[in-house]
Amino acid sequence: MSNLTKETVELFAKEQMFEMTEEEKQTALKDLEAMELHIEKINRIPGVTTATVMTHCLDNFILELREDEPVESTPIEDLLANADEVFDREIELPKVVNG
């Protein structure tokens, strides 16, 4: 019914930066195939195709931006505490260009 294959899963896994076992790939493929069933169920709702999409729980929500005032910063030492690799007072990241 669809063009979904194990290779489809592998492509998404590659884009999402992880590897999967063969068993995980097969289960994920079934999940993708199940999306068609999900959409069939959603499309059975009378009038759904003309409904407005809902992206936020509260329709009358008014976003109030905070005042643009400086606040106390987190000490750098605290921020570095979880970094595996640190150079001086900076997080050392792997080389990105020509890495």
Partner 1 sequence: MTYMTRSVEELHELLVKGEVSPKELLDEALQKSHEVQEKYNAFVTVVDGAEPGEAGEHVLSAIPYGAEDVYSTKGVLTTGGSKALYDYVPFFNAAAIDRLAEAGAVLAGKTTMDEFGVGDTGTTGHNGKVRNPWDPERMCGGSSAGSACAVTAGVYPFALGTDTGDSVRKPAAYCGIVGYKPTYGMISRNGVFAGVSSMDHCGVLARSVADAAIVADTMKGPDIDDMTTWDTADIHLRDALDGDLAGKKLCYVKELADPEYYPAADETLKAHLANFMEKVEMLRAKGIRVDEVSVDKALLEAVPSVYAVIGCAEATSNLMAITGLIFGPRGEGRNWVEQFKDHRTKGLGSLVKRKIIAGSYVLKDENQERYFRSAQRGRRMIVDAWKELFKAYDAVLQPAGTGPAKLLSNTEETPGTEMLEHAGLIADFGGFPSITIPDGFVEGLPVGMTITGNIYDDETLLNIAYGIEGMMDYKGQIAGEGK
CA-CA distance, 17 to 30, in Å (whole number)?
A: 20
* Residue 22 in contact with partner 1, rule: CB under 8 A: no
CA-CA distance, 67 to 69, in Å (whole number)?
A: 6
In this structure, which amino acid lies at residue 84? D
* Residue 89 in contact with partner 1, rule: CB under 8 A: no
* Residue 1 in contact with partner 1, rule: CB under 8 A: no
| Shortest Cβ 20–partner 1 spacing (Å) | 6
CA-CA distance, 35 to 41, in Å (whole number)?
A: 10
Q: Interface residues for partner 1 in 27-86 (CB under 8 A)? A: 27-28, 31-32, 34-35, 37-39, 41-49, 51-58, 61, 63-66, 74, 78-79, 81-85
